[in-house]
């Protein structure tokens, strides 16, 4: 019996102790007419050898194309040590560290994670994780609504240069709480949001805005004018919620430093921790990072670890400020979150420790350099041009002037290249456009391979159409 | 010692990153970072040693019996981990076109079908990333359902007073007010109180069955009738599905919407706090509202349904597809179990819990609920010990740690004073259960003769009892270099 250790003899003894004749008797409080029959649609049991065969077949069915796709999930090198240590049973099969003395490993590691994440973002406080970047943004918005007591409007500005999936998830999650999410259009020349547009939307919505969201780099890979916007927001009692890529913060001005020095920093920073040691894995598990200023610490949702001392005065770690959480506050909690993404945070902490700041910086810089190289080669091809003028990090929007993006991407796929994200659904105004991404994983040869493939595809329109048909 | 304290300026974990820092061309100075982030500077070996040694300060299922009630700490089969981490899965970008992602989508489609069958629901979405997010999705669907019918006055969600904290917190997140319904001494919901509470303002009832008190709700049909006749919907918190898997299905009990904690019933690891999965299942009338993405099969291939296919969906809950790595582990586990194995899960989880409950009674402990079958868990109340010897459930818990057992859940459900909620799971052998009961009996004896031993526990762990008040007052949430 899979994973059940009982011998016949033991079963008999146990039933005797209980005082029943059969295991079935233990279910006699369940109304008989409601009892389930055989679960026909569940296949019969397989042994590990058979399941291994099945899963290998399924895994091999997935594509092994060279990845130039980002749009919120990035293929980075992960040192072997990261997941080897992370999947040790002591981390893997432990529960939430409610029994602190028996969970010092997870607790100290989480404290170290909080320390690393605050160092990277230059924020005061980090929690122990949310589910992912998108849900973390939603929670950041709810947190801002609770925290900004000077504003009554519950109105949040979100530039359309913020990841569309994040905006959608945020919408789902804040929907029940009378929070209004207001789009701010990006500037079609720069690919970033301008202060003019922000001011315009603020005025159009009555002037009282609770918070605004700013993604750096934004969904298009463009770098926003974070300083000027943060200053203006703070001058107008608007809290700033930064959405960041934490790896990129090793080289870019981090959210805790945005704006003037006397009033420095985004108030809340969120984002997806995936670039720091989590494999792409078809979408997860990743984790949501969530940081804030010290003054907002009682409004942050999720678990937080604090350093303290034991009876002997020895250093130790515990879950703290639990009065914010659902298991204490129930309907008055800051959020309903309970289980978070602890194991991925474990991986991320080990990743950051092994890489150090220098490793992260070199990785980020290599992503950027590779992207520059790719973009240079692609825009040299007839019919490909850069969509935006703002400085870019490791992603770039390219417009295809002659052929539909969907068909180009399909034809590239036939050549073993995952060529980017098709923007036409979310941003029809861009025409036929794709978002390309390059990480440190891409070699010069692979970049050339992409450029050659793109040249082939674009120069043979007929081939594209026929490929599309045959696929 | 913190990893930061192993740090030495200039030391690096090469060769894990490009050796040189490429120039950051075309980025204006003011957008660049000034100075490096204060991360530790250690060698790879130092990091590996530090985190290996830290891991050894944890209790875990792989190292200890971990009878944490409501959490289903069963064995997490290693095959589930290694097969979910095959390169074909790990290297899949979430936005890979469906045609190139068929292997993964096939697993997800099978998983949806198996969950439907195991729970008696019509359709499933795997999008929610934990139980609480499953609850959110479920209650948001209830809201969307009433709204779609123009039934706008339904603003209240009912929860039993024994409910987990996520239930009321979720209802509030979805814009509802919450009303608690009392539980009777025998563990069943007070159905008269329920009848009093329902009305045209009732959106639904969130119920865990078996309840958090470790007993099966015998009046479930009557409860479903009360709620449905009032025009409300019935929500199933699947945290305790392990107790009834293959024995009785939530759909057959009358539930309209459920979540299943795959990190409990389907054995994906708890990972020191997560990640989990709170897959949601619905009856036919709620199908249009399921959160996205959902996987469908058409002409022998699989694809994600989009907002175009499902205009009434409550929408997405994450940037991509919830927690696929968790979903794969649950899928592999379910294939290993098969239909035969699933029923055995409930049978042996229940056998173990009832055996321990009988042993607890025999050894003189007071049960929270008498003369009932245990589900897959049961509750001891230490209120007499607390009164007579001034020892608390927390003291018992800490002393258990000294004896090499993870403590059961303490102080939940909130209704039962000084409680231990004990859930052994099916994967534990009789000798583990006996060993634990011996330890508990020993502690009871110690409480009577030498309560100091309990107050001072634990003594054998890396730290003694920690000062939680200080932690909350003198906040130290991140290391800062002096
Ligand atoms: C009864 C009950 N409901 C809901 C939850 C919440 O589930 P999760 O932690 O996965 O969000 C739990 C988890 O502890 C639970 O025990």
**pLDDT one-digit tens code per residue, B382-411:** 999 999 999 999 999 999 999 999 999 999
Same domain, yes or no: B297 and B365: no
Q: CA-nearest residue of chain A to B308?
A: A425
Out of B298, B318, B337, a domain closes at B337
B358 falls within a domain: yes
Contact A310 B166 (CB under 8 A): no
Contacts of A172 in chain B (CB under 8 A): 140, 291, 314-317
Total domains in the fold of chain B: 3
Structure tokens that stand for A314 in this block: 């020895």
Complex ipTM over 0.95: yes
Residue B389 sits in a domain of what CATH number? 3.90.1150.10
Contact B277 CB / ligand 1 (< 6 Å): no
Contact B395 CB / ligand 1 (< 6 Å): no
- Residue ranges of the domains in chain A? 80-350, 357-470
Residue B131 lies in domain: 79-337
Same domain, yes or no: B43 and B160: no
B304 falls within a domain: yes
Question: Does A468 reach chain B within 8 Å, measured CB to CB?
Answer: no
Structure tokens that stand for A461 in this block: 């329109």
Same domain, yes or no: B195 and B296: yes
Out of B288, B306, B337, a domain closes at B337
Contact B208 CB / ligand 1 (< 6 Å): yes
Same domain, yes or no: B97 and B144: yes
pTM comes to 0.97
Q: Where are the alpha helices (DSSP H) in B263-392?
A: 324-362, 383-389
Residue nearest to atom 16 of ligand 1 (CA): B70
Same domain, yes or no: B234 and B378: no
Determine the atom of ligand 1 nearest the C-alpha atom of B132. Answer: 11
Same domain, yes or no: B391 and B430: yes
Residue B84 sits in a domain of what CATH number? 3.40.640.10
Q: What is the 3-state secondary structure (H, E, C) of chain A?
A: CCCCCCCHHHHHHHHHHHCCCCHHHHHCCCCHHHECCCCCCCCCCCCHHHHHHHHHHHHHHCCCCEECCCCCCCCCCCCHHHHHHHCCHHHHCCCCCCCHHHEHHHHHHHHHHHHHHHHHHCCCEECCCECCHHHHHHHHHHHHHHHCCCCCCCEEEEECCCCHHHHHHHHHHHHHHCCEEEEECCCCCCCCCCHHHHHHHHHHCCCCCCEEEEEECCCCCECCCHHHHHHHHHHCCCEEEEEECCCHHHCECCHHHCCCCCCCCCCEEEEECCCCCCCCHHHCCCCEEEEECHHHHHHCCCCCEEEEEECCCCEEEEECCHHHCHHHHHHHCCCCCCCCCHHHHHHHHHHHHHHHHHHHHHHHHHHHHHHHHHHHHHHCCCCEEECCCCCECCEEEEEECCCCHHHHHHHHHHCCEECCEECCCCCHHHCCEEEEECCCCCCHHHHHHHHHHHHHHHHCHHHHHHHHHHC
Q: How far, in Å, from the CA of B209 to the mean position of ligand 1?
A: 13
Cα(A118)–Cα(A125) distance, rounded to whole angstroms? 6
Residue nearest to atom 15 of ligand 1 (CA): B239
Assess contact for A163 and A134: CB atoms under 8 A.
Answer: yes
B184-215, pLDDT tens digit by residue? 999 999 999 999 999 999 999 999 999 999 99
Residue nearest to atom 12 of ligand 1 (CA): B239
Q: Which of A94, A128, A326 to mutate to test the interface with B (most CBs of B within 10 A)?
A: A94
Pick the CATH number of A357-470 from 3.90.1150.10, 2.170.8.10, 3.40.50.170, 3.30.230.10: 3.90.1150.10
Same domain, yes or no: B132 and B225: yes
Q: Which of B21, B51, B323 to mutate to test the interface with A (most CBs of A within 10 A)?
A: B51
Same domain, yes or no: B169 and B313: yes
Residues 191-210 of A with CB under 8 A from B: none
Closest CA to B138 of B255, B296, B223: B255
Nearest chain B Cα distance for residue A174, angstroms: 8
Nearest chain A Cα distance for residue B480, angstroms: 8
Please tell me whether residue B304 adopts helix, strand or coil conformation: strand
Contact A272 B319 (CB under 8 A): yes
From first to last of the 471 residues of chain A, give the pLDDT tens digit: 789 999 999 999 999 999 999 999 999 999 999 999 999 999 999 999 999 999 999 999 988 899 999 999 999 999 999 999 999 999 999 999 999 999 999 999 999 999 999 999 999 999 999 999 999 999 999 999 999 999 999 999 999 999 999 999 999 999 999 999 999 999 999 999 999 999 999 999 999 999 999 999 999 999 999 999 999 999 999 999 999 999 999 999 999 999 998 878 999 999 999 999 999 999 999 999 999 999 999 999 999 999 999 999 999 999 999 999 999 899 989 999 999 999 999 999 999 999 999 999 999 999 999 999 999 999 999 999 999 999 999 999 999 998 999 999 999 999 999 999 999 999 999 999 999 999 999 999 999 999 999 999 999 874 445 444 544
Q: CA-nearest residue of chain B to A217?
A: B31
Which residue among B69, B131, B210, B415 has the greatest number of ligand 1 atoms within 8 angstroms of its CB, and so is best to mutate? B131
Long-range contacts of A257-264 (CB under 8 A, 24+ apart): A257/A122, A257/B33, A257/B34, A258/A226, A258/A227, A258/A230, A259/A226, A259/A227, A259/A230, A259/A231, A259/A234, A260/A227, A260/A231, A263/A231, A263/A234
Residue A463 confidence (pLDDT): 47
Same domain, yes or no: B156 and B224: yes
**Count of pairs with CB atoms under 8 A, one residue in A, one in B:** 703
Q: Which of B125, B245, B466, B467 to mutate to test the interface with A (most CBs of A within 10 A)?
A: B466
CATH of domain A80-350: 3.40.640.10
Out of B290, B307, B337, a domain closes at B337
Q: CA-nearest residue of chain A to B372?
A: A29
Same domain, yes or no: B199 and B269: yes
Contacts of A44 in chain B (CB under 8 A): 338-340
B479 falls within a domain: no
Q: Which residues contact A222 (CB under 8 A, 6 or more apart)?
A: A161, A190, A191, A192, A388, A390, A391, A392
């Amino acid at each position: 019996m899979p994973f059940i250790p009982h011998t016949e003899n033991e079963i008999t003894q146990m039933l005797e102790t209980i005082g029943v004749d059969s295991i079935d008797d233990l279910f006699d409080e369940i109304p008989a007419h409601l009892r389930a029959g055989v679960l026909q649609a569940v296949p019969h049991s397989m042994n590990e050898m058979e399941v291994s065969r099945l899963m290998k077949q399924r895994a091999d069915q997935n594509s092994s194309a060279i990845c130039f796709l980002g749009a919120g999930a990035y293929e980075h090198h992960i040192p072997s040590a990261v997941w080897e240590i992370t999947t040790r049973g002591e981390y893997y099969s432990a529960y939430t560290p409610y029994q602190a003395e028996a969970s010092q490993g997870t607790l100290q590691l989480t404290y170290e994670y909080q320390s690393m994440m605050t160092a990277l973002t230059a924020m005061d406080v980090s929690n122990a994780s949310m589910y992912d970047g998108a849900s973390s943004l939603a929670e950041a918005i709810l947190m801002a609504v609770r925290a900004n007591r000077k504003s009554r409007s519950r109105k949040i500005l979100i530039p359309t240069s913020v990841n569309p999936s994040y905006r959608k998830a945020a919408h789902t999650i804040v929907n029940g709480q009378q929070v209004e999410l207001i789009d701010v259009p990006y500037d079609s020349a720069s690919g970033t949001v301008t202060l003019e547009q922000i001011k315009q939307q603020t005025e159009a919505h009555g002037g009282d805005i609770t918070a605004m969201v700013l993604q750096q780099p934004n969904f298009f890979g463009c770098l926003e004018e974070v300083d000027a916007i943060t200053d203006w927001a703070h001058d107008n009692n608007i809290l700033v919620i930064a959405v960041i890529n934490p790896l990129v913060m090793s080289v870019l001005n981090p959210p805790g430093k945005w704006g003037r020095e006397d009033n420095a920093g985004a108030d809340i920073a969120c984002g997806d921790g995936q670039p720091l040691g989590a494999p792409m894995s078809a979408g997860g598990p990743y984790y949501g990072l969530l940081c804030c200023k010290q003054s907002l610490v009682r409004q942050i949702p999720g678990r937080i670890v604090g350093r303290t001392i034991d009876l002997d005065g020895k250093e130790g770690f515990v879950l703290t400020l639990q009065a914010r959480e659902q298991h204490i506050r129930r309907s008055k909690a800051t959020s309903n979150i309970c289980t978070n993404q602890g194991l991925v945070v474990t991986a991320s902490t080990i990743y950051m420790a092994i890489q150090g700041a220098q490793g992260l910086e070199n990785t980020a810089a290599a992503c950027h350099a590779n992207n520059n190289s790719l973009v240079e080669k692609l825009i040299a091809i007839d019919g490909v041009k850069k969509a935006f003028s703002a400085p870019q990090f490791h992603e770039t929007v390219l417009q295809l002037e002659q052929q539909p993006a969907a068909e180009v991407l399909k034809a590239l796929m036939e050549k073993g290249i995952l060529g980017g994200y098709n923007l036409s659904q979310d941003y029809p105004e861009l025409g036929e456009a794709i978002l390309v991404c390059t990480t440190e994983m891409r070699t010069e040869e692979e970049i050339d391979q992409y450029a050659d493939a793109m040249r082939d595809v674009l120069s043979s329109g007929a081939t594209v159409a026929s490929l599309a048909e045959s696929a | 010692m913190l990893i930061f304290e192993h740090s030495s300026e200039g030391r690096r974990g090469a060769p894990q990153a490009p050796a040189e820092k490429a120039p950051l061309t075309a980025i204006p100075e003011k957008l660049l970072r000034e100075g490096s982030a204060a991360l530790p500077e250690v060698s790879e070996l130092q990091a590996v040693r530090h985190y290996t040694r830290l891991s050894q300060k944890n209790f875990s299922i792989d190292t200890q019996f971990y009878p944490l009630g409501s959490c289903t700490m069963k064995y997490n089969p290693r095959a589930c981990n290694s097969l979910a981490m095959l390169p074909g899965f790990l290297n899949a970008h979430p936005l890979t076109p469906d045609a190139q992602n068929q292997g993964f989508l096939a697993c997800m489609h099978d998983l949806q079908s198996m969950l439907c069958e195991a729970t008696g629901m019509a359709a499933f979405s795997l999008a929610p990333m934990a139980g609480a997010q499953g609850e959110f999705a479920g209650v948001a669907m209830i809201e969307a359902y009433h709204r779609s019918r123009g039934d706008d006055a339904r603003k209240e969600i009912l929860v039993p007073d024994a409910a987990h904290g996520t239930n009321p917190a979720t209802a509030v997140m979805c814009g509802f007010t919450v009303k608690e319904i009392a539980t009777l001494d025998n563990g069943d919901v007070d159905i008269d109180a329920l009848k009093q509470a329902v009305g045209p303002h009732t959106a639904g009832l969130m119920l865990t069955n078996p309840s958090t008190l470790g007993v099966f709700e015998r009046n479930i049909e009557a409860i479903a009738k009360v709620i449905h006749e009032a025009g409300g919907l019935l929500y199933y918190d699947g945290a305790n599905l392990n107790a009834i898997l293959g024995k009785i299905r939530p759909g057959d009990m009358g539930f309209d919407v459920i979540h299943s904690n795959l990190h409990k019933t389907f054995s994906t690891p708890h990972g020191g706090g997560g990640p989990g999965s709170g897959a949601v299942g619905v009856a036919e009338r709620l199908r249009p509202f399921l959160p996205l993405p959902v996987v469908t099969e058409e002409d022998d291939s699989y694809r994600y349904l989009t907002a175009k296919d499902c205009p009434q969906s409550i929408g997405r809950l994450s940037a991509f597809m919830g927690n696929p790595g968790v979903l794969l582990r649950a899928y592999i586990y379910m294939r290993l179990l098969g239909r035969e194995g699933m029923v055995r899960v409930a049978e042996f989880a229940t056998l173990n819990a009832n055996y321990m409950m009988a042993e607890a009674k025999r050894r003189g402990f007071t049960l929270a609920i008498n003369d009932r079958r245990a589900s897959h868990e049961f509750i001891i109340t230490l209120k007499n010990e607390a009164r007579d010897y001034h020892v608390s459930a927390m003291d018992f818990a800490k002393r258990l740690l000294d004896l090499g057992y993870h403590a059961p859940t303490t102080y939940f459900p909130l209704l039962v004073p000084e409680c231990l909620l004990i859930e052994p799971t099916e994967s534990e052998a009789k000798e583990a259960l006996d060993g634990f009961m011996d330890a508990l009996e020993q502690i009871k004896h110690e409480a009577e003769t030498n309560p100091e031993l309990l107050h001072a526990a634990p003594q054998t762990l890396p730290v003694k009892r920690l000062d939680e008040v200080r932690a909350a007052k003198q906040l130290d949430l991140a290391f800062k270099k002096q």
